[in-house]
A = this chain, B = another copy of it.
Amino acid sequence: MSLPHAILTALVEKPSSGLELTRRFDRSIGYFWSATHQQIYRELGKLEAEGYIRALVADQPTRGQKKRYEVLSEGRAELARWTAAPQDPKPMRDTMLLRLRAAAVVGTEGIEADLRRHLDLHTRQLAEYEAIQERDFPPGKDAPQDRLQHLVLRAGIDLETFWTRWLTHALEELGRLPAGGGAN
């Protein structure tokens, strides 16, 4: 039940239309909670029905017409409630780790190329995060309101740093292996 709250957060930060939200999810919020435009439109409908947000539009027509949504006080209250409520961390689910475990029994044939590709993708993502950090959080001045945003960005940077290091290490190990088939 996180998507509605991701949308509420985005709308509190700045009232937007569905497509604007979609773009913002691609840029910033989507870095840790991705969503497609279909999910967003569906969820906007629900949030409006529940009285958490309100559409500002010249009423009548509905398709192709731009709608701008804003958060109502009930929505803001729900977001605050959700933020404070305890939630268990979800168990990790990572396909690459699973594939390496599978490679241990069926052989490492072919996985190296994809490890390299992932390393490249994570390296790019890391560079993107670091560019954002330099732009939005230059060293020296550190406004207290921005501390939380910076903290979240730093999680992204540290995670991508972890992946680039781990993938590099994995490629080293793979190169040192007797090559080809797995155990059994």
B-contacting residues of A (Cβ < 8 Å)? 2, 5-6, 8-9, 12-13, 29-34, 76, 79-80, 82-111, 113-114, 117-118, 121-122, 144-145, 147-149, 151-152, 154-156, 158-159, 162, 165-166, 169-170, 173, 176-178, 183-184
Contacts and interface: CB of A to CB of B under 8 A. Distances in A.
A159 B158 contact: no
Given A83-B111, A86-B117, A107-B80, A98 B173 contact: no
18 contacts: A9-B98, A12-B184, A31-B92, A34-B93, A79-B106, A83-B103, A84-B109, A84-B114, A88-B121, A89-B122, A100-B148, A144-B177, A144-B178, A145-B183, A151-B170, A158-B165, A159-B162, A162-B162
B89 A96 contact: yes
Given A100-B148, A107-B80, A149-B104, A94 B12 contact: no
B90 A106 contact: no
A108 B173 contact: no
B95 A87 contact: yes
Given A12-B184, A159-B162, A104 B145 contact: yes
Given A98-B6, A101-B29, A106 B89 contact: no
